[in-house]
Amino acid sequence: MESELTATSVFRRGRSGPVRGVIFDLDGVLVDSFEVMRAAFTLAYAEVVGTGPAPFEEYNRHLGRYFPDIMRIMGLPLKMEEPFVRESYRLADRVRIFDGVPELLAALRKRGIGLTVATGKSGPRARSLLDRLGLLGMFERVIGSDEVAHPKPAPDIVLRALDELGLGAAEAVMVGDAVTDLASASAAGVTALAALWGESDEDELLRAEPDGVLRQPPELLAWCPAVV
């Protein structure tokens, strides 16, 4: 399914003005952590719930949300969080950065664009992972879902990112690979861009009517001219 949205869509939709900041989701946008999440979820399910297939496909449909919120939605024990987090830390060396992301971040910083991360992970876990991958220093702030009152799809985490950047909603874009990312951005008045290079359901993301679509990381540069 092809989208007709382009890098100029935002201006046609009335959100005019230069982009001075980018808010990134983490998993599925900056890093490919899909198999690590599958392994951690499967082990946590077996350890807490018991035998039987772990419903990872259902879990995957809720990505972008905070893990405890997903457990509540799925009716699973909150006790799964401890082994899930433990295994996620243990397997962190299997997470890889998506091709083109380091170059994209460097180019954006060179253009004077402020960068933050707003993730469904907890703040400590997100910062630990980015530090391990050598990306932490690229961001002004990395904000986790445990560091706001209401995680995605509420606007709190995006509003917090704007505050950290010292920007208004019209001056930023958010890049996410989940419907909850797009909803959070839109609720905060921020341009919502759907990232399609990960494991996301493209049709589902397009049905959420993002302001733009990115099929590869470098395409974000068309939205972010150098700040003058």
Active-site residue identified among 27, 32, 177, 181: 27
DSSP string across the chain: ------TTHHHHTT--S---EEEE-SBTTTEE-HHHHHHHHHHHHHHHT-SS---HHHHHHTBTB-HHHHHHHHT--GGGHHHHHHHHHHTGGG-EEPTTHHHHHHHHHHTT-EEEEEESS-HHHHHHHHHHTT-GGG-SEEEEGGGSSS-TTSSHHHHHHHHHHT--GGGEEEEESSHHHHHHHHHTT-EEEEE-SSS--HHHHHHT--SEEESSGGGGGGG-PPP-
Active-site residue identified among 25, 177, 181, 211: 25
| Known catalytic membership, residue 25 | yes
| Known catalytic membership, residue 211 | no
The residues assigned a catalytic role are 25, 27
